[in-house]
Amino acid sequence: MNFVMPDFIPAAAEIFILAMACVVLLADLFFGKTNRWLTYFLTQASLVGAAAISAWLILNHGGDIMLTFGNMFIRDLMADFLKLVVYLAVALVVLYGRGYNALRGLDRGEYYLLVLFATLGMMVMISSNHFLTMYLGLELLSLSLYTMVALDRESARSTEAAMKYFVLGALASGLLLYGMSMIYGATGTLEISGVAGALHNHMALTPVLTFGLVFLVAGLAFKLGVVPFHMWIPDVYQGAPTAVTLMIGSAPKLAAFAMAIRLLVFGLFDMATHWQPMLIFLAVLSIALGNIAAIAQTNLKRMLGYSAISHMGYMLLGLLAGIGVDGGNHGANAYSSAMFYAIVYVLTSLASFGMIILLSRAGFESEELDDFKGLNKRSPWFAAMMMIVMFSMAGIPFFIGFFAKFWVLQAVVHAGHVWLAVFAVMMSLIGSYYYLRVVKLMYFDEPAEDAPIAAAPDMRFLLSVNSLAIAALGLMPGQLMSLCAYVLTGGQ
């Protein structure tokens, strides 16, 4: 058996992050006690370095598809682009969370290490061309996140959330693995492009394949956090320290999107007529339950958790609109709309949890809705920023959230599911109520306290940039839209 040296270039960013994770670990071990800023700095530097590598790959290889490690790992334009967004999101997570963690004794080396490993997991998921690499990436991400939720060892609530997350997450991984094994049994390959080829050529749809698909979709639904696999979301969002919720609620959604695209579209596209109805079912339930249950919440983190469920439902609308009722293929447009939705959601989600962190201080979480009362009196600037975020989430123009919904709905109408679009907009009407309620608390009510906002200047600045970007992208949504469509079609 001869060993062929694999091509490392496509996976250079992953290798870099892994190496840097070790560097961060060692650096923190030796200098971390007194110089935590070094750990922080190195973490940000690793993300910047990885971004440089991914950007270099895009510039030099553009839309080329590069397979390596025995076709287990794929590098294409979509992968590199999504990774760039992931770096950005994670960098903001680390930056927003820093002050929060420091005040609560969570600013430990493990936090940064886990963040880097989670990032690596996401990158592997985004770039996997094989069921095993997909599973590997997913577990790396999930295990890091479980640990991060439990990072606050003193908090019973966090521990409970971590436990729940872990047990349900393990179950979902099991489902996913089970589904993968069935598909392997039916097609004889674990390689995603191989599965696609086998299905395309001759495969009759055997029951085992359909069963496999069901389990696969179930596992995927858990990771996306859509109904009926959403149980963990509200508890974990609320129970985890806000800096960790920020992490869970942002970048991993992109990885989950990539997972859906790789498995369902790149792998099982010939079964689209089977998985589309499943996604319709998941999307309808998520949009309904997410929006309705969010109304009853008094805790902002929990409310945003339910809102995340509904947003992932809207993203699924884009994924399921690939094949029209008339059988026409609208894939490129529909999947780009889902990708655009995911990116926009990550951006708004970062700003919303960032705002909770901004208002928190030592011994005060600021995670109840009432903590936002009268924010307009305390800080008109950040009240306006939060208002932008809330209206964007509600899908009111001129904010980017509107265009995300707009494109997804366009894809759904194009596919011929007009009733689904009508349902989705009616639910977003219900949804707008609870976002409006946050605006109401900030603007119409008197403040319950008038403590000044005690956040670091870099955080204030970047949070403002983040929120203003939501408004600015809403004025000029065309470029990002074209970019999403461009990378999804591999640069055509």
Partner 1 sequence: MTGTPLLSLAIWVPIVGGLLVLATGSDRNAPMARWLALVSAVLGLLVTIPLYQHFDTATSAMQFVELSPWIHRFNVNYHLGVDGISMWFVILNAFITVIVVIAGWEVIKEKVAQYMAAFLIMSGLMNGIFSALDGVLFYVFFEASLIPMYLIIGIWGGPNRVYAAFKFFLYTLLGSLLLLIAFLWLFLEAGGKFGILDWHELPIGMTAQTLIFWAFLISFAVKVPMWPVHTWLPDAHVEAPTGGSIVLAAIALKLGAYGFLRFSLPIVPDAAHAMAPIIIGLSLIAVIYIGFVALVQTDMKKLVAYSSVSHMGFVTLGFFIFNQLGIEGAIVQMISHGFVSAAMFACIGVMYDRMHSRQIADYGGVVNTMPKFAALFMLFAMANSGLPATSGFVGEFMVVLGAIQFNFWTGFAAATTLILGAAYTLWMYKRVVFGAIANSHVAELTDINGREFLFLALLAAGVMAMGLYPFPFTEVMHASVDNLLKHVAMSKL
Contacts with partner 1, residue ranges (CB under 8 A): 376, 380, 391, 396-398, 402-403, 406, 409-410, 413-414, 418, 421-422, 425-426, 428-429, 432-433, 436, 439-440, 443-444, 477-478, 481-482, 485
Nearest to 480 by CA among 401, 412, 390, 414: 401
Query: Cβ 303 to partner 1, closest distance in Å?
Result: 17
Answer whether 215's CB lies under 8 Å from 54's CB.
no
Please give the helix or strand (H or E) that residue 74 lies within, else none: strand 73-75
128 vs 379 by CB, closer to partner 1: 379
Answer for the pair 412, 428: CB distance below 8 angstroms, yes or no.
Answer: no
In whole angstroms, the minimum distance from the beta carbon of 472 to partner 1 comes to 13
CA distance 55 to 78: 12
Least distance (Å) between residue 155 CB and partner 1: 35
For the CB of residue 470, give the shortest distance to partner 1 in the complex, in Å: 14
Phi first, then psi, for residue 68 (nearest 5°) are -150, 180
- Least distance (Å) from partner 1 to the CB of residue 482? 5
CB of 381 to partner 1, least distance (A): 9
For residue 409, the minimal CB distance to partner 1 (Å) is 6
Cβ closest to partner 1, residue 68 vs residue 432: 432
Of the two residues 112 and 402, which places its CB atom closer to partner 1 in the complex? 402
Helix or strand (DSSP H, E) at 219:
helix 207-224
By beta-carbon proximity to partner 1, the closer residue of 220 and 388 is 388
Q: Residue 253 CB, nearest distance to partner 1 (Å)?
A: 23
Contacts of 338 (CB under 8 A, 6+ apart): 257, 260, 261, 315, 316, 317, 318, 319, 408, 411
CA distances from 396 to 24, 175, 361, 389 (A): 42, 38, 31, 10
We find the least distance from the C-beta atom of residue 471 to partner 1, in angstroms, to be 11
Q: Name the token pair of 144.
A: 């890091």
The residue among 257 and 340 lying less far from partner 1, judged by its C-beta, is 340
- Residues with Cβ within 8 Å of 466's Cβ and at least 6 positions away in sequence, in order, are 92, 347, 350, 351, 354
Q: Which of 190/389 has CB closer to partner 1?
A: 389
Q: Using the minimum distance from each CB to partner 1, give the nearer residue, 45 or 429.
A: 429
* DSSP SS3 for 61: helix
- Closest to partner 1 by CB, 276 or 337: 337
Task: Quote the CA–CA distance of 485 and 492 in Å, as a whole number.
Answer: 9
Residue number, 203 or 332, with CB nearest to partner 1? 332
**Residue number, 164 or 440, with CB nearest to partner 1:** 440
**How far is it, in rounded angstroms, from Cα 313 to Cα 224?**
9
Residues composing the chain? 492
Quick check: 442 and 454 in contact, CB under 8 A?
no
Q: How far apart are CA 183 and CA 14, in angstroms?
A: 28
Taking phi over 0 as left and psi of -120 to 50 as alpha, with beta for the rest, 181 belongs to: alpha
3-class state of residue 236 by DSSP: helix
CB of 417 to partner 1, least distance (A): 11
Taking alpha carbons only, the member of 244, 255, 263, 90 closest to residue 165 is 244
Residue 106 or residue 421: which is nearer to partner 1 going by CB?
Answer: 421
SS3 state of residue 193:
helix
Report residue 66: phi and psi, to 5°: -120, 125
To partner 1, the closest distance from the beta carbon of 476 in angstroms equals 8
Q: Are 323 and 271 in contact (CB under 8 A)?
A: no
Q: Which of 259/485 has CB closer to partner 1?
A: 485
356: Cβ contacts below 8 Å, ≥ 6 apart: 242, 300, 301, 365, 366, 367
